[in-house]
Structure 1
Amino acid sequence: MDSLRAFEDEPDFGSPSDEEDAIEAPPEIGVDERRMHVRAYNYWVSLLDGRPYPSIRDLNPSDLGDFGPHSVLLDFSGDGDDPAVAWLGNALRTECGLIGDIRRISDVPKRSLLSRLTDHYLQIIANRAPIGFEAEFVSQLGQNTMYRGILMPFSSTGDTIDFIYGVINWKEIADSAVIADIAREAERALAAGVPSVEASPVWADGPNAEPPSLLHGTDEPEEAAVFDPDAGLADRLCAARESAEAARGADSRSRASLYRALGLAYAFARAAEVDVQGYRELLEDSGLKAQARAPMTPVVKLVFGADYDKARLTEFAAALSWARREDIAIDGLRAYLETFEGGLKGVVQAERRARRPEPKPDRNEAIREALRNAPAFARVAMDTSEEFVLILARRETGGVVSLLGPLADPALTERAIRKAAA
């Protein structure tokens, strides 16, 4: 079955998806397969320019070498019931074995990969927002295929959806019979035993060479790769993403798995400070930009996915910013989160407090203090409970002023106080 969702509604860790009876939920596709539709979504967002939908005039699939060959453009402007196929990428056409022209949705072969895109166009019109989907199916060629895609609305008028642009990526996977055969062969091999091998010289790159140790005192393989001082930036990002995927799928919303993922994300962020060019290239590959005012936001989008829940991404970025503010060691954030009062939430609150600007001095209080010390022209007895009183006076002949009494107007008094300090 297909798993459908609006792109802004990414489930949190461990959130179950709806399933149909007697149909298993499709397995998640790995990071590499998912990146194409994330880049497509980021591209769609970049075209919005404050509008409900991007203009179709800004879209030219033939210029999108990254995902244009994996895409299709549907035109509803002429026939909403059977929209025209305005563009079909070569990679998608080849995968579906298409030879002739595909002019309309009604021409799309059933059980083709293209049909997995076009079958969802009504959902996007109903949701009026990008729709992401993923599934596993048997193609018309009998090949078990796993795919992940996205449909995005476009408009020629600015407020009506009359075009839909879809991008899809896929990979072939072994069917259950092949997997079962492999399992049986493995069992027979294990039962027969492994013959002993005579000792032979070990070359650094030979078949008997032992893999280099990356552990450096940690029991977690992904942490080992990240905390190895010689690990490359891409390796660190890969390990952080794998940990984030594990945390996302944790059955019990494991706090430990989330803290591990954040620790690896922080280690990647610290490494990116050194390998500036490598970090810039990773951002460009993912369609992201560095942010001077929020430097950790692109980091968490790289690790957890740009389509992840925005509120959670904001919290994760705040936690990484606090760790950098406190100059926590590259491998120390996980333990820090475990011991900090309130855990992740406590760290996020601490960072938000640190970001608040210093309160401005109370200028009115400074004015009042100056008036308290100002010399008095005269003193008269008057019954009042206010510290400062605005008094109405009348000028008499001979340079005499008669005091008529106080004015009970707090707002007018405040303005007079401020005026006195000018």
Structure 2
Amino acid sequence: MDTTGGFDNARTEIDDATDGAVEDQVFDLGGDERRMHVRAYNHWVSLLHGAPFPAIDRLDPDSITDFGPHSVLLDFGHGIEDPTIAFLGAALRLECGLDAAIRRVAEVPSRSLLSRLTDHYLQIIANRAPIGFEAEFVGNSGCTTLYRGILMPFSSNGVDIDFIYGVINWKVMADADTQATLTAELDAAVRTAPTTNDIPVWADGPSAGLDDRDEDDAEVENENEDPDRMMPPAPTGALGDRLAMARESAAQVRGADARGRAALYRALGRAHDFALAADADEAAYRALLDDALITAQARAPMTPIVKLVFGAEYDKTRLAEYAAVLSHARRHAVAAAGLGAFLEGFAGGIKAIVAAERAARRPAPRPDLYARAAAELRTLPVLATVPIGAGDGEFVVLVARAGRDGTLDIVQRIDQPALVETVVKRAAA
């Protein structure tokens, strides 16, 4: 289902909208795409002129070059059960594969992007306010589409809602086969590409002028950077190339461009391959850690690996889980390019591997000192047999007073289990 929200405090709710239909985190369509529905809402506000709803005659979607092609206008003049489609933007029409013949909501294909808008129109009638929403769905093409939209009420008489204007933006993710092909091509390119530590800077190319920036300008840029996406650049060379590949896969998981188990397994597989390469080139690995200001600790050898790959500011819980997966792979001597298959074949997946690794790290249970002491006491010779009643326990503690001629006069029997256990342990020490 989609996540929707009213617009009583519209700007805040648009900016802070969340999506309960997407696992782990809200997807990010990108800067301009995220703001399109905000611009649409601002346009709606500009048409209010003190009325509860803008007048429909003030709206001309065909003339709105910004978001008009991504919009649809519904006309409820003939009832709310099956409103008329008074306008359908060219970009939205093309994306849905629709022709000019479509006239009513009932004709909208059920798994089309347009249906993501039309499915919400009754909420506008009920709430009498704009509603924003975002989610993902798998369309008729079989590809997952991420979308974000807004529906806004209009009126022909200033009182009744008899028109609804919707704006939607979207991004189609690559299917699994395409992503696998791209990944294979990237792997092959990295393996065959020559490595060098001296890369020339074009005088008029993308890097032109970077070295001439003031340090203050660079600091301002760093302050404005999203800290969750800040990663130090990887140097070239064999190990740097592997790190770049691993970061590329991790970025897909972080950015939700290829969200899912396959993408995560691919990213962890490349992180594992990078870890194996780091073992073979410790000097280059230490240089990477120094550049990233990451400190390695013997008790957590895989934590620096996942920080380098996923970013030091990534979710701490996730980093700990991913480090546990890599540690488990090392413990079981998983070969390069073999972690993906290892994960697929492990019952319970990543969660089970994390649990198994944590169990393996726990210290061995302390030996049962009482059991050892009791076994030792059972082997000792009997010094004397005293018919005073032993009670229910195997061992008892007797308090005796030294008598004449080296004899012992028993004066008390102790039946407290804790004291008996303590004495038995001391007796066998």
Normalised-by-shorter TM-score class: 0.3 to 0.5
TM-score normalised according to structure 1 size: 0.47
- Larger relative contact order (C-alpha < 8 A, sep ≥ 6)? 1
Q: Which has the higher helix share?
A: 2
Structure label with greater radius of gyration:
2
TM-score norm. by structure 2 comes to 0.47
